[in-house]
Chains A and B, each alone.
Chain A
Amino acid sequence: MALDESSSPPRLSEQFSGYEKFISHITSVTSSFVLPFLYITDRHNPRITASLLNQIYRNGGDCSRARFAHINATACFTARLLYDTVLNALAGWEVAWENGCQNWPGEDGKRYNDSIDSFLHGLRNLRNKFREGKAKGNGSTVDEEPTMVLLVERAERLKDNLPDLIVPLTRLAELSQVKITTILLSSARWEDIKPPLGASPDPYFIDIDPSSKQDTVDSLLFEFRSTSTKQADAGTQDKTYHPSLLPLYEQYVEHVYNVCSLYTTNIQELQYIAAARWPGFVKPVLQEQNDANGDGDPDPDAIRNELTLPASDGRMRLLKFFTPSLTAALDVLYPRLTNATDWALANDPDMQAQDEAQCQTNTEGSIIVDHLPRMSKFILLAAFLASTNPAKSDVRMFGRGADKQKRRRRKFASPKKVGAQATVAKVPQRLLGPVVFPLDRLLAILGALLEENDVENRPHESCFELPGEQTDMELGRVHIYAAISELTSMRALHRTTAVEKLEGPPMYKCGISFRVAGAIAKGLQVPLNDLMWDPL
């Protein structure tokens, strides 16, 4: 994304289409030191806004004269990191391994990172340095004070990591007596971060609107152009991003937008999906091109040559042909079940892999649980039931009557539910998340499950005569406990009590979802739905 030195504001607005107003706004506000504290809320694409601001201050017109530091509140998770990063960035100081990774100002060994006071001191020193430098440089007026800008990305993280620093950061200009503008950029609102008791001044708010369809398409087109220049610079023979394909790409991107906008309008997500599908999409076009040219010698200038695009009905057919694979891409790529590179390879239309890929994506939908030993599967199932069924229902769900068959009753309309209808509809537990259960209950349910579903599958031992005696014995075995701890280390079970606590039984919570439990139950041929208090 790095732009040339020659880049100018018009190009910026081209790259960040839809941000024109914002650009002029922010440059006018910060070009001369007017506001010490800005708060920009962007709920949609803070990452893009951050890179826009970065470019404005690094190399865009008036503002680039200001000293600029761009930090990420996640990365600066301690105060010292923040001080070091900000001062080094503002001073334009490059840390070198050879001199022992010294921070600015280098050799003199002054320390500016131990407290907010020394940080402010550092800022003042920095200002003085600039002044001297300038005075020496062109001998102009000494009192021309350099302006500085500090941009904090993901400012919402300040609240967790450095709550004490929010107030000083918002009052930085006032405290340090330096012309420094603090810009907090966040996807959260200022009200959520604001320190109590009005300790911070109110910022100047700027909100970023979601981008429109046209803006999205425009910025994707810009990305296409920059990719194609990058590829041309790298000298690849690949014509996937040939400049003359741009009109086709425009149509393609609009189509992608139409297909996906129902689920996401995030520019970067759309770009991700578009990038994954584009090589496959354009392949037939390029192939036709090659065939038309004949398999003659590959012209070294071919990249520069114009490619003829298919006629409009051809394009329509292309778009229609690829629509199902676009939805498939959205299904798989938006939740990142796989990555774009692998998906693009697997769904290459030339490899006739279409069908196979389809199968693959389908398996993602239906979970297959292998790799787990049989007993671990039973334990997981028992844990799921223990976490979703209320403890009081266990006797009814798992208990056996005297005649042992068909005595299990299930309440489809429990008396409780009838009463509840008048007030609030009860949400099934499996939608509310797992509840905690003790180890004993897990073992008891496991015993009931094994007795009902596993007796035929285990080797018979003649020394057990009473019904259920063998199950009881199996339950006490070391490897049951070992399996439980192993599942805990896989985080398929969550242990909620501390390991070092000996008092009382350990408590667990189930870590698998209903769908996974369903898949396991299917594999074990356990009627899961019959065993749930709130059947589906």
Chain B
Amino acid sequence: MTVDTDLEDVNQTTVYIPFNASDDTGVDTAPASLFPERDFHQGCHLRLQACRAAWGKCLERMQELIHSLHAPVVESVVEQVKKCYTDELPGLPYPELPVISVTSSSTSSSLFDEISFRLEENTDELFEDTNDHFVTRVFPSDCTTLTGMMKVIVSGFVSRSPTGGQDIKRKPSTSLAAYDIALLEAWYRAVCDTRDDRHRRSRLVVIMHDFEQLEPQVVQDMFEICSSYISRVPLVFILALASPPSPSYIRATYPHSLLALLRVRDCPFPLAQTSLHNILLETFFDPTFEPEIMIGPTTIDFAVEFFTRHNSSLDGLLSILQLAHMKHFEEPLTVLAPAQVLGQPKDAAKVLLTPDAFPFLDALFARIHESTLIAPVEHATSWRSATADSLLSLVETARETFRMRAKLLRVAFRLVLHVRQFLLVQGHKTVQGDQTVPDLMCLALRGRLGSVYGHLCSMVRKLPAAQLEEFVREVHDFFENAPEDVKAAEDEVISRVEIAYKMLGRDVSAQDISSPLGNWLSEYFRLRIVALEDAPLWDIWYTGSMPFPSELINPSPRASILAGLTRPLDYVSPGQQSGDDEDGDLPDISILFKGYLESAKMINVYDWFESFAVFLEARKRRVGKTRIPDGADETSRTPSKKKGKQKQVEGEVVDKNAGEDEEEWLMEVQVRFIRALQELDYLGFIKHTGRKADHVMRTVFDSPE
């Protein structure tokens, strides 16, 4: 190898190490399965596909919901822009500059794309075939100075030719400067002339992104300039704020003299908390939508907890649910989650009948026989006739069972919420309880909603006549709107509600209707709201109480680094661990770190080096002793290539004449010390104060033990 010789060559100052693709083989191969004992070769790949499909469906639904959250805000902003110069209060001392602040902390910036699209589209309301308003977007990075900001605003509009034809060339020296608002005024006049717009109805809208990051002094001057041109240039500002509407950033930052020039209107988002509840409800508990994978109570708990505690953004919610999907599909059995992921039943059988897939088949077979899919009497005989096809068809049955069960659970849960809402509106405060909607979801999924619906049903039994009529109608309508297959499955309770509905017309006392109705509902809920874990093969479609991998979303890097330094061997993959000898295989940096933890605030580097040398010396001697009985597996014991080389060197050292190599050994120890010290330094554990010669300062003091 030329590289090796180059590296040895003292005269070479620079060595080029070419990229060697063969080092990184296995990029395309699937990662190792977590459960190799019951997985098959293609399983991982197929599961990834299934996961993608399942998450795609869920994501699409949630994005739709988030989008629909945007709609009212976009609508109100557009409305305000439209009327902002016409609805002024008469008698004000001077016209105010309209400013609309939009708080957008919990959603993405696509909101502003929607707003600008809506403002620029052609509604035929104002003009025949041109856009209604003009929009320019301003980002903080362009606006560190007033000149820069004015230039962005002015050129953002002026770059569009008012006549639609060729742009008129301006001379850089004798024309107006590009940051002169008078230029914008001239442009706007030209726009109005070409459009024959005598009332000057089109607005110039400036969207300012990340408004908090703009320099307040610059913004203040900019607003002042624009305010003095209001009568000639109808500017409207839309501010994208990340901070909450209360306490207001604008009012806390800008002086009264500026605020007096503006007419600030807020367009707040609905509370993030409620949006979260709605999105969860509409995605996983909507009778008309069936997610491929049902989310379990632990995941819901985590999502809600994380949302209220750390990060109230809906994008964060999406990541959590995506991660939950990925985690779910780690289980080999989930390859069966979507119908026909293995192709047609015939192909599927072919795939499963390869020797490679036998462990998987075994596991599946065992699971099916544990479950209720096969009647107990048949147990004795059926295993003989089990084929891949029969197993797959049983899975198919289980899928149908689970799907229906989950669906009926959703419907029943929605009815519980419905009844609760109804009673709340009627003024029964006690039904509120202290559970939020996600709490109720978790209870329902665990099948422990009994006390809640028990209370609701007892309230129903006591409903007075006037409310009862409305209540029965509500429930009746609820089932009326349910999907057809649900109606078919729930014919019993539906017919009972029907009876109650019919009884209303007749001369029956309220008590006679309400008390059986309460019982019927209670029975219905008891039947339907049961833990999904009772269904056969539930873990294919339901994440259940699997703990959420929260470390992936919210890791603690500091703790991980400390743990890695103190117990490096825990991080080595199990095959490479050599086991018994605890200190023997510690990497240099860990040896150094041990000394670090034992030392005082300031560390004497020379002492540190000494102790390091002693440690290595001791290890060398030990290796020398053990080497004589078996000297074969040197390289296999070493965690890394680099150490492999070192060990070989050690081996040679023992063999050769000790006196001659003493110097070389010392050199090696020193090099390894410096290298490890640099690594610690790079990780930020060392501070060079220069206060004391040969000393460095510790930066970490808490013991990670």
Which A residues lie at the B interface, using CB under 8 A? 47, 72, 74-75, 77-78, 80-81, 84-85, 88, 95-103, 109-111, 113-114, 223-224, 227, 230-231, 238, 240-241, 267-269, 271-272, 274-276, 278-279, 334-337, 339-342, 344, 367-375, 458-459, 472-474, 476-479, 482-483, 486, 489-492, 512-513, 515-516
A74 to B224, Cβ gap below 8 A?
A: yes
- The reply on B199 being an interface residue by CB < 8 A is no
Contacts A110-B174, A340-B89, A373-B312; A492 near B251 (Cβ below 8 A): no
Closest partner residue, chain B, to A249 (CB atom): B91
A476 to B247, Cβ gap below 8 A?
A: no
**A240, A278, A374, A473: which has the most chain B beta carbons within 10 Å?**
A374
> Which residues of chain B (345-368) have a CB below 8 Å from chain A?
none
B556 to A478, Cβ gap below 8 A?
A: yes
Closest partner residue, chain A, to B220 (CB atom): A74
- B665 shortest CB reach to chain A, Å: 37
- The reply on B659 being an interface residue by CB < 8 A is no
- The reply on B675 being an interface residue by CB < 8 A is no
Complex CA distance for A368 and B171, rounded to whole angstroms: 54
A336 to B89, Cβ gap below 8 A?
A: no
Closest partner residue, chain B, to A466 (CB atom): B705
B190 to A373, Cβ gap below 8 A?
A: no
Q: Which residues of A contact B183 (CB under 8 A)?
A: 95, 101
> Which residues of chain B (291-316) have a CB below 8 Å from chain A?
301, 305, 307-312
B91 to A77, Cβ gap below 8 A?
A: no
Contact of A335 among B146, B169, B251 (CB under 8 A): B251
B92 to A72, Cβ gap below 8 A?
A: no
Q: Which residues of A contact B271 (CB under 8 A)?
A: 370-371
- The reply on B489 being an interface residue by CB < 8 A is no
Q: Which residues of A contact B224 (CB under 8 A)?
A: 72, 74-75
Q: Which residues of A contact B185 (CB under 8 A)?
A: 95
A472 to B245, Cβ gap below 8 A?
A: no
Question: Which interface class (under 10, 10 to 19, 20 to 34, 35 or more) fits B?
Answer: 35 or more
Contacts A72-B228, A512-B247; A240 near B90 (Cβ below 8 A): yes
A278 to B168, Cβ gap below 8 A?
A: no
Closest partner residue, chain B, to A334 (CB atom): B256
Closest partner residue, chain B, to A270 (CB atom): B93
B170 to A100, Cβ gap below 8 A?
A: yes
A341 to B556, Cβ gap below 8 A?
A: no
A271 to B92, Cβ gap below 8 A?
A: yes
B177 to A84, Cβ gap below 8 A?
A: yes
**Stretch of B260-268, B424-432, B626-634 that contacts chain A:** B260-268
Q: Which residues of A contact B244 (CB under 8 A)?
A: 369-372
Q: Which residues of B contact A80 (CB under 8 A)?
A: 177
29 A-B residue pairs with Cβ-Cβ distance under 8 Å, sorted by A, are: A74-B221, A75-B224, A75-B225, A85-B182, A97-B186, A99-B168, A100-B169, A100-B171, A102-B175, A113-B173, A227-B91, A268-B93, A275-B90, A276-B89, A336-B264, A339-B263, A340-B89, A341-B263, A370-B244, A371-B103, A371-B312, A373-B311, A473-B556, A482-B310, A483-B311, A491-B249, A512-B247, A513-B252, A516-B247
Q: Which residues of B contact A88 (CB under 8 A)?
A: 182
- A72 shortest CB reach to chain B, Å: 6
Contact of A339 among B94, B225, B264 (CB under 8 A): B264
Contacts A271-B93, A370-B244; A97 near B309 (Cβ below 8 A): no
Contact of B186 among A77, A96, A241, A490 (CB under 8 A): A96
Complex CA distance for A19 and B152, rounded to whole angstroms: 41
B173 to A114, Cβ gap below 8 A?
A: yes
Complex CA distance for A192 and B90, rounded to whole angstroms: 38
Complex CA distance for A491 and B247, rounded to whole angstroms: 12
Q: Which residues of A contact B179 (CB under 8 A)?
A: 78, 81
Contact of B245 among A102, A230, A371, A515 (CB under 8 A): A371
A482 to B180, Cβ gap below 8 A?
A: no
Complex CA distance for A371 and B104, rounded to whole angstroms: 10
**A98, A269, A344: which has the most chain B beta carbons within 10 Å?**
A98
B180 to A84, Cβ gap below 8 A?
A: yes
Q: Which residues of B contact A267 (CB under 8 A)?
A: 93
Contact of B91 among A78, A100, A275, A458 (CB under 8 A): A275
Contact of A477 among B213, B242, B247, B555 (CB under 8 A): B555
- B195 shortest CB reach to chain A, Å: 13
Contacts A103-B176, A337-B251; A223 near B310 (Cβ below 8 A): no
Closest partner residue, chain A, to B243 (CB atom): A490
- The reply on B246 being an interface residue by CB < 8 A is yes
Complex CA distance for A474 and B213, rounded to whole angstroms: 28
Contacts A272-B92, A341-B263; A372 near B212 (Cβ below 8 A): no
**A88, A98, A101, A103: which has the most chain B beta carbons within 10 Å?**
A101
Contact of B242 among A272, A340, A489 (CB under 8 A): A489
* Closest CB pairs A-B (n = 7): A371-B244, A97-B190, A275-B91, A490-B243, A476-B558, A336-B259, A268-B93
- The reply on B559 being an interface residue by CB < 8 A is yes
- A421 shortest CB reach to chain B, Å: 34
**A78, A95, A512: which has the most chain B beta carbons within 10 Å?**
A95
- The reply on B578 being an interface residue by CB < 8 A is no
Complex CA distance for A486 and B221, rounded to whole angstroms: 26
Complex CA distance for A490 and B174, rounded to whole angstroms: 42
- The reply on B272 being an interface residue by CB < 8 A is yes
Q: Which residues of B contact A369 (CB under 8 A)?
A: 244, 246-247
Contact of A275 among B89, B173, B247, B557 (CB under 8 A): B89
- The reply on B8 being an interface residue by CB < 8 A is no
Complex CA distance for A515 and B33, rounded to whole angstroms: 55
B92 to A368, Cβ gap below 8 A?
A: no
- The reply on B210 being an interface residue by CB < 8 A is yes
Contacts A109-B174, A478-B554, A478-B556; A241 near B89 (Cβ below 8 A): no
A111 to B92, Cβ gap below 8 A?
A: no
Q: Which residues of A contact B305 (CB under 8 A)?
A: 459
Contacts A344-B89, A489-B210, A490-B249; A109 near B168 (Cβ below 8 A): no
Complex CA distance for A486 and B183, rounded to whole angstroms: 37
- The reply on B162 being an interface residue by CB < 8 A is yes
Q: Which residues of A contact B221 (CB under 8 A)?
A: 74, 77
B702 to A241, Cβ gap below 8 A?
A: no
B89 to A279, Cβ gap below 8 A?
A: yes
A491 to B243, Cβ gap below 8 A?
A: yes
Contacts A75-B228, A336-B260, A367-B246; A224 near B176 (Cβ below 8 A): no
Closest partner residue, chain A, to B271 (CB atom): A370
B246 to A490, Cβ gap below 8 A?
A: no
Q: Which residues of B contact A111 (CB under 8 A)?
A: 173-174
A84 to B176, Cβ gap below 8 A?
A: yes
Give 19 new A-B contacts, CB below 8 A, not counting A85-B180, A95-B182. Answer: A72-B228, A78-B147, A97-B190, A98-B168, A100-B169, A269-B260, A272-B92, A274-B91, A339-B263, A341-B88, A342-B265, A371-B272, A373-B312, A374-B309, A476-B557, A477-B554, A490-B243, A490-B249, A492-B243
Closest partner residue, chain B, to A474 (CB atom): B556
Give a binary string over B104-134; 1 marks a CB under 8 Å from any A CB, 0 the rest: 0110000000000000000000000000000
- The reply on B663 being an interface residue by CB < 8 A is no
Contact of A75 among B171, B177, B181 (CB under 8 A): B181
- B210 shortest CB reach to chain A, Å: 7
Closest partner residue, chain A, to B191 (CB atom): A97
